[in-house]
Structure 1
Amino acid sequence: MEIPSLFEVLLFLAAFFTALLAYNNWLISISTSGKRLPPGLFPWPIVGNAPFLGSKPHKTFHELAKKYGPIYRIKLGSVKTIVLSDFKTIKEALVKQRQIFGGRMRFETYKYVQNGASNIFNDVSTQGEVWNKTKLEMLRHLHNLSTSTTVRKKSNEFITDDVIYMLKELESASVTNFINPEKTIRKAGANTMCMICFGKRYAYDDKDFCELLQANEVFSAVVSAGAMIDTMPWITVFPKYRQILETYKKTMKHFYKWNLKRVEEIVTNLPDTNLMEPTNVVTSMIMSNGNGKITTKYMEQIASICSELFGAGQDTTPTAFTWINNYLLLYPNVMKRMKKDIKETVGDRLPTLFDRPKLPYVDAFIHEIFRHSSFAPTSIPHGTLKKTTLCGYDIPQGTMVFANQYSVNRDPNVWPDPEKFDPMRFLCKDESGELTMNGEAVENLLIFSMGLRKCPGSESAKTWLFLATAILAQTCELMQDPSHPPSLDAEFGLTLRPSCLRMKFRLNTLKTFQ
């Protein structure tokens, strides 16, 4: 254990007493301001309510929502924060007041994402109209790729190839031992994002690919712990946290350069783009530039967008698929039902993306995992760009805002018996009596946020998860480790991950389809 130097101790004490004085002034100011603030916890000096949240803050948020209602206030370090905990309140803020609640906090760790030009971690207050243009550019190219029939067919091919390769790797690794499949699943998800962004996939042991995965792991770990660095910046006086921040800075720089290098390679080797239909984000953006010269600045913009998409998609989608495996071990009857539906609908071929409307139970199963696991329990924190009112309460400018998705997905007024895992809640019968997805239930689910900050890759994630789940159910048998049975326990981080998952994979029928 490192012992702080005398200078560090003195610096900490100075910060403590300065914060104590500021805290006292703050208490006086709110008691005389005449503002009607949301109810909430009494904060401690310097640390605020951070220690109270514990190792599973999503559950603490949920319990506080039961006590204080759909909007309450806390303080994280020195940062005034509100937590929104029901669908109506979150929609009122993030959709109806999207221009006010669509900001980000000006945190230290955000400055180093995409050389400070991040779309996800910036807003109009830091980048002006550049932010709006970049956001629209990202959404436009994702839309173009998702609506093209040619691209959908190509997507089906490369996702299928990636999933089969992943399942073979998992089977090979689990021949003699039970394994945690998470790392292999993350490699498959990363390869899919590489195809979406650059039209290229990598071998799992490729040096460049491993560097990319390592950078993303550091990013996830630091952003997860970043709440402490950002809301209590004085903590970097301690060597441990100072080193974390320095490692993070270097990793973010490397991650950006990695993406820029891929873009430069494509630009250098690209043939006549007028003869091509874009099948990835880079070629789509190049072609949209017409016959104009591809400048260094434009390549940097492309690299930034690809970095954003990769960073956003490489964590959420693999985490969701890891939960899918966990739930299939917990509920083997669900696996049997999916196998039966796929056999009756697809027959003796592999499922495709075009089978999705005909396999509603698979889709319902995935959506119920979104709800029941709530693996993204809160949104990435928003920041208010102006003072406003919400639910009759005064919300100051610069307030940090969490959308408590975990509580939304467990609201008993919306989800009867919310602790029960039941894919059927996402199904209903159409006019002909056939099962179909329940649109109202899908609308009430919250996992990819909403408004200006809704995850731009949510549909891509659902596409990958559908095909991966259908192929897994059709071709595999899953076995749990008797000494480490699956559970719903989760480790809190950037996303929630199963805390104890060990299993074996057996590809019983894959050879039939090759």
Structure 2
Amino acid sequence: MELPSLFEVLVLFALFYVAFLTYNNLFCPKPSGKQLPPGLFPWPVVGNAPLLGSEPHKTFHELAEKYGPIYRIKLGSVKAIVLSDLKTIKQALVKQRQVFGGRMRFETYKYLQNGISNVFNDVSTQGEVWSKTKLEMLRHLHNLSTSTTVRKKMNDFITDDVIYMLKKLEITSETNFVNPEDIIRKAAANTLCTICFGKRYDYDDKDFCELLQANEVFSAVVSAGAMIDTMPWIRVFPKHRQILEAYKKAMKYRHKWALKLVEEIATSSTDKDLLEPKNVVTSMIKSNGNGKITTKYMDQIASICSEVFAAGQDTTPTAFNWIINYLLLYPNVMKRMKNDINEAVGDRLPTLFDRPKLPYIDAFIHETFRQSSILPISIPHATLKQTALCGYHIPQGIMVFVNQYSVNRDPNVWPDPEKFDPMRFLCKDESGGMTMNSEAVDKYLIFSMGLRKCPGLDLAKGWLFLATAILAQTCELMPDPAHPPSLDAIPGLTLRPRCLRLKLRINTLEVQKH
């Protein structure tokens, strides 16, 4: 067989290059007189998707070093921009929140909360209904996290859940080193069930386990730049078609589960229950005035509770896994926390109300947020109309990635960003004591900001503080020498520690007597 000549190869290459430029001019037009952000040249059909790899947050971080804090990419047929520094992100999500507060109209979003999702809809899809529902969600979560009476009750049931979790970890790790993720996930999920519905589940309950499995399906499908949405043609392949069908089934189950609990509470709640709401459902029923709610409103309550559960059930336990991972890596941190608790609290168990007296624990949790970047890329936004950002033209309907990982690793903000140092988040108060550095707290990014800021932020921080404080006061952690902890992460919608195995021992009697 005769090989092609060099001339023939060059001709083929030239033809391919011309076709490539033609594609770019036809499908990637630049608005006349308006400058788009710099960015990558997209390949036909797949765009820049193959370049992202298994850790897109790191790829985005590297591209920001080349193109700057705002640049454009293309995933399949979907055009997108990536925001990578705090100043640019604040300009977009806070100062221009009404423009950058949209969501993409992806296929997978249609199956969330029976189509009435607060997190995955916006004013362009649901109008004023979305705005009112969003405000209602924020109001009820705010009431639960700020009311002194409710906080006392929350403190009690979080403490119960944490103690049960620690006892469970002690039992399961008695004879061998274990990965604590499953137990931690179920403990955090039970707290969320109590917050939303006033109900706990046994760790082995079939419905409870199926619910947690549905949430894993959600996390696997709804991730940054998910192929199933940005390249819908991929569904012709059996594997991806099966993934989508499993996702639809899981989301239907999750909403049905929440709706059933709402209906049970609505039909069984007494006047006394509504007089002093103990969970999101009773709080929303009370706000309805006469306590009688329509089927449509029950569906709305179920949607809100389901989303609160789904959001917290992934991020909160993942954050606590990293907290344990760092305590295994830096045992001196745990010693300091234990000493601080002994001085500020004494022999009793810490409470949510002790948080101002234990700033080092708070600082440790925030440094864990910063360095682990548990949610490295926030769920994509979309522009609701064309606008300008940092001097660049931004079209309407473009997907917007917020690379929180880059914000948390910016050397201009965080000196030596790879170093784990809780002291970044501390400063001296007027009396010379240590307190949280509010300026530093405003510079890291995990829970997004603006219209899409995590509504359960205060609840998550409360759970993590109490769990960390009780763990530090009462327990001893032993890493697995065969699988030592590291900073390596398993990529996904959230980043999870890659090597997390331990033995846990409860050293004090306080937990046993609770």
**TM-score of the aligned structures, taking structure 1 as reference length:** 0.94
* Secondary structure of 2:293's aligned partner: coil
> Which residue pairs with 2:13 in the alignment?
none
Query: Equivalents in 2 of 1:23, 1:202: separation in Å?
Result: 59
Query: Equivalents in 2 of 1:422, 1:58: separation in Å?
Result: 22
> Which residue pairs with 2:68 in the alignment?
69
Shifted more, 271-280 versus 398-407: the winner is 271-280
Pair 266,42 (structure 1): closer, same or farther in 2 beyond 3 Å: same
> Which residue pairs with 1:5 in the alignment?
none
Query: Equivalents in 1 of 2:511, 2:288: separation in Å?
Result: 45
Equivalent positions of 1:18-97 (< 5 A) are 24=23, 26-27=25-26, 30=29, 33-97=32-96
User: Are the aligned partners of 1:109 and 1:226 in contact in 2 as well (CA < 8 Å)?
Assistant: no
> Which residue pairs with 1:130 in the alignment?
129
> Which residue pairs with 1:192 in the alignment?
191
> Which residue pairs with 2:323 in the alignment?
324
User: Are the aligned partners of 1:349 and 1:513 in contact in 2 as well (CA < 8 Å)?
Assistant: no
Query: Equivalents in 1 of 2:284, 2:44: separation in Å?
Result: 49
Query: Equivalents in 1 of 2:330, 2:120: separation in Å?
Result: 38
Pair 56,29 (structure 1): closer, same or farther in 2 beyond 3 Å: closer
How far is the alpha carbon of 1:27 from its aligned partner?
4.6
How far is the alpha carbon of 1:293 from its aligned partner?
2.5
Pair 269,29 (structure 1): closer, same or farther in 2 beyond 3 Å: closer
1:381-418 per-position Cα deviation (integer Å, ceiling 9, x unaligned): 00011011100000111110011111111111111111
Q: Which amino acid aligns with 1:389?
A: A
> Which residue pairs with 2:138 in the alignment?
139
> Which residue pairs with 1:491 in the alignment?
490
> Which residue pairs with 1:106 in the alignment?
105
Query: Equivalents in 1 of 2:223, 2:416: separation in Å?
Result: 31
> Which residue pairs with 1:239 in the alignment?
238
Equivalent positions of 1:163-182 (< 5 A) are 163-182=162-181
How far is the alpha carbon of 1:40 from its aligned partner?
1.1
> Which residue pairs with 1:278 in the alignment?
277
How far is the alpha carbon of 1:365 from its aligned partner?
0.1
How far is the alpha carbon of 1:34 from its aligned partner?
3.5
Query: Equivalents in 1 of 2:291, 2:202: separation in Å?
Result: 34
* Secondary structure of 1:30's aligned partner: coil
Q: Which amino acid aligns with 1:301?
A: Q
Moved over 6 A (4+): 20-23
User: Are the aligned partners of 1:23 and 1:45 in contact in 2 as well (CA < 8 Å)?
Assistant: no
The percent identity for this pair of structures is 80
Q: Which amino acid aligns with 1:124?
A: V
Pair 369,277 (structure 1): closer, same or farther in 2 beyond 3 Å: same
User: Are the aligned partners of 2:224 and 2:379 in contact in 1 as well (CA < 8 Å)?
Assistant: no
User: Are the aligned partners of 2:144 and 2:150 in contact in 1 as well (CA < 8 Å)?
Assistant: yes
> Which residue pairs with 2:413 in the alignment?
414
1:427-464 per-position Cα deviation (integer Å, ceiling 9, x unaligned): 00001001000000001111100000000001110000
How far is the alpha carbon of 1:141 from its aligned partner?
0.5
How far is the alpha carbon of 1:273 from its aligned partner?
4.6
Give the length in aligned residue pairs: 496
> Which residue pairs with 2:213 in the alignment?
214
Query: Equivalents in 1 of 2:28, 2:422: separation in Å?
Result: 50
> Which residue pairs with 1:459 in the alignment?
458
1:29-88 per-position Cα deviation (integer Å, ceiling 9, x unaligned): 625734311111111111111111111111111111111111011111111110001101
> Which residue pairs with 1:287 in the alignment?
286
Query: Equivalents in 1 of 2:297, 2:107: separation in Å?
Result: 26
Pair 26,200 (structure 1): closer, same or farther in 2 beyond 3 Å: farther
* Secondary structure of 1:73's aligned partner: strand
> Which residue pairs with 1:390 in the alignment?
389
> Which residue pairs with 2:115 in the alignment?
116
- Which stretches in structure 1 are left out of the alignment for 5+ residues? 1-19
* Secondary structure of 2:226's aligned partner: helix
How far is the alpha carbon of 1:208 from its aligned partner?
2.1
Query: Equivalents in 1 of 2:21, 2:277: separation in Å?
Result: 56
User: Are the aligned partners of 1:350 and 1:513 in contact in 2 as well (CA < 8 Å)?
Assistant: no
Equivalent positions of 1:308-319 (< 5 A) are 308-319=307-318
> Which residue pairs with 1:7 in the alignment?
none
User: Are the aligned partners of 1:328 and 1:335 in contact in 2 as well (CA < 8 Å)?
Assistant: yes
RMSD: 1.7
* Secondary structure of 1:48's aligned partner: coil
- Which stretches in structure 2 are left out of the alignment for 5+ residues? 1-18
Q: Which amino acid aligns with 1:213?
A: L
Alignment partner of 1:333 is 2:332: yes
> Which residue pairs with 1:355 in the alignment?
354
How far is the alpha carbon of 1:137 from its aligned partner?
0.3
> Which residue pairs with 2:7 in the alignment?
none
Q: Which amino acid aligns with 1:467?
A: L
Pair 69,136 (structure 1): closer, same or farther in 2 beyond 3 Å: same
Query: Equivalents in 1 of 2:511, 2:297: separation in Å?
Result: 47
**TM-score of the aligned structures, taking structure 2 as reference length:** 0.94
Q: Which amino acid aligns with 2:211?
A: L
Query: Equivalents in 1 of 2:232, 2:59: separation in Å?
Result: 23
Query: Equivalents in 1 of 2:458, 2:77: separation in Å?
Result: 37
* Secondary structure of 1:279's aligned partner: coil
Pair 114,21 (structure 1): closer, same or farther in 2 beyond 3 Å: farther
How far is the alpha carbon of 1:217 from its aligned partner?
1.4
Query: Equivalents in 1 of 2:265, 2:359: separation in Å?
Result: 39
How far is the alpha carbon of 1:378 from its aligned partner?
1.1
> Which residue pairs with 2:11 in the alignment?
none
How far is the alpha carbon of 1:224 from its aligned partner?
2.9
